[in-house]
């Protein structure tokens, strides 16, 4: 992005008019010193604060069609690149990507914004951060929305042990990412092919053998589990793909993958969360055609969400929608978000 067009102040824009949402320069870009890093974020609208957290391998940009809708409805919408992604700093140490740091970033960002309460919304990896934030700081985060990934509470078994049992001798992507350097180089060797393949194969547009294969065989490259389409469906424009590709070409994938390398570390440092629940109002939005919820173990998490999200008000799987609900089904996601957020208007 041409950073000369960006605004580097932490002031929200009062009005968000009709813009080309696929154009990154249409948004109010800001930076803040947060928890020892420089964080890039979008800041639009005025009103109760809503923080939108992207997943992997996405960026703030995955929410581009939600930002205007929420700002127009009377909310201040803040959308960061999480640490390791996009224009936000990428610390080198793997442990810099554990949940204590990711949640610390959100706490620090709120302080920089001068805000004392927020509804936090997370997709995929962002859902892990959002749930951790709601669990650890209920005084700050008064509502929780998770998209596509039903994040479990802290279990009794170390995550990699549980994932190995689920994979039954095969390799799940969280396990694949425990390797150092190899997946980083594999993904970065051709970022355009990597991203097009992942975005398509996890979506509801992929059918049959084109769909994401959740497990690979030992020694098999992870990218074999995805299919690059000849033409991309209309819900993700060529301009949008170019933005993602340009950013990941510049940054690589290591920072993003490091979150997965902290799965066991997160478990080890959160023994105090055994039995913890999220009591704030919550919402789950998923896709009925999302390959990631097909394993019985994952689908059971969706089925049992209300046992640890005790304030769960609604959970829905959108027909024909895959893992990127916010991009694949804009109107439905926006409608569900606005319905949920109405209760938080001052």
Distance from C-alpha of 135 to C-alpha of 120, rounded to nearest angstrom = 11
pLDDT of 346 reads: 74
Q: How many residues does the chain have?
A: 346
The DSSP annotation for 266-301 comes to HHHTTGGGTT--B-S-EEEEEETT-GGG-SHHHHHH
Residue 214: partners with Cβ closer than 8 Å, 6 or more residues away: 172, 173, 225, 291, 292, 294, 295
- Residue-range domains of the chain with CATH: 3-344 (3.40.50.1820)
Active site residues: 124, 323
What does the pLDDT read at residue 239? 97
- Nearest partner of 124 among 337, 346, 290, judged by Cα: 290
The answer to whether the beta carbons of residues 76 and 109 sit under 8 Å apart is: no
Q: What pLDDT, on the 0 to 100 scale, is given for residue 11? A: 57
* CA dihedral over 266, 142, 82, 336, signed as positive or negative: positive
CA angle 56, 62, 65 (to 5 degrees): 160
Whole-number average pLDDT of the chain: 94
Low-confidence ranges of the chain (pLDDT < 50): 1-10
Share of the chain above pLDDT 70, in %: 95
Residue 17: per-residue pLDDT: 61
Q: What is the number of other CB atoms lying within 10 angstroms of the CB of residue 214?
A: 19
Q: Omega of the bond prior to 57 within 30 degrees of 0, cis?
A: yes
What pLDDT is attached to residue 6? 35
Angle at 278 between CA 339 and CA 139, to 5 degrees: 85
Q: What are 145's two structure tokens?
A: 């929305």
The answer to whether the beta carbons of residues 39 and 83 sit under 8 Å apart is yes
Using the structure block, give the residue that is written with the tokens 């080309």: 20
Element (H, E) at 265: helix 263-268
Report, in angstroms and rounded to the nearest whole number, the Rg of the chain calculated over CA atoms: 19
């Amino acid at each position: 992005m041409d950073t000369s067009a960006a605004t580097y102040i932490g002031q929200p824009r009062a009005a968000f008019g009709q813009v080309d949402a696929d154009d990154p320069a249409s948004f109010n870009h800001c930076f803040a010193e947060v928890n020892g890093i420089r964080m890039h974020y979008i800041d639009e609208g005025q009103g109760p604060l809503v923080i939108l957290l992207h997943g992997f391998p996405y960026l703030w940009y995955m929410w581009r069609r939600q930002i205007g809708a929420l700002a127009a409805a009377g909310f201040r919408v803040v959308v960061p690149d999480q640490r390791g992604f996009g224009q936000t700093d990428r610390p080198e140490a793997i442990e810099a990507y554990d949940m204590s740091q990711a949640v610390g970033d959100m706490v620090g960002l709120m302080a920089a914004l001068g805000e004392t309460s927020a509804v936090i919304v997370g997709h995929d990896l962002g859902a892990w951060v959002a749930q951790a934030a709601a669990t650890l700081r209920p005084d700050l985060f008064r509502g929780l929305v998770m998209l596509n990934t039903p994040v479990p509470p802290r279990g009794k078994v170390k995550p990699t042990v549980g994932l190995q049992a689920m994979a039954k001798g095969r390799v799940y992507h969280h396990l694949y990412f425990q390797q150092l350097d190899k997946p980083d180089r594999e993904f970065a060797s051709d970022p355009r092919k990597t991203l097009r393949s992942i975005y398509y194969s996890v979506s509801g547009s992929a059918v049959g053998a084109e769909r994401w294969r959740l497990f690979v065989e030992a020694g098999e490259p992870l990218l074999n589990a995805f299919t690059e389409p000849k033409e991309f469906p209309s819900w993700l424009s060529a301009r949008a793909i170019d933005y993602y590709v340009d950013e990941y070409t510049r940054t690589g994938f290591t920072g993003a993958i490091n979150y997965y390398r902290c799965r066991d570390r997160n478990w080890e440092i959160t023994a105090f969360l055994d039995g913890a629940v999220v009591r704030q109002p919550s919402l789950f939005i998923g896709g009925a055609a999302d390959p990631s919820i097909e394993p019985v173990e994952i689908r059971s998490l969706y089925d049992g969400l209300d046992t640890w999200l005790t304030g769960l008000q609604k959970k829905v799987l959108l027909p024909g929608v895959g893992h990127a609900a916010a991009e694949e089904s804009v109107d439905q996601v926006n409608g569900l978000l606005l319905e949920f957020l109405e209760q938080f208007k001052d």
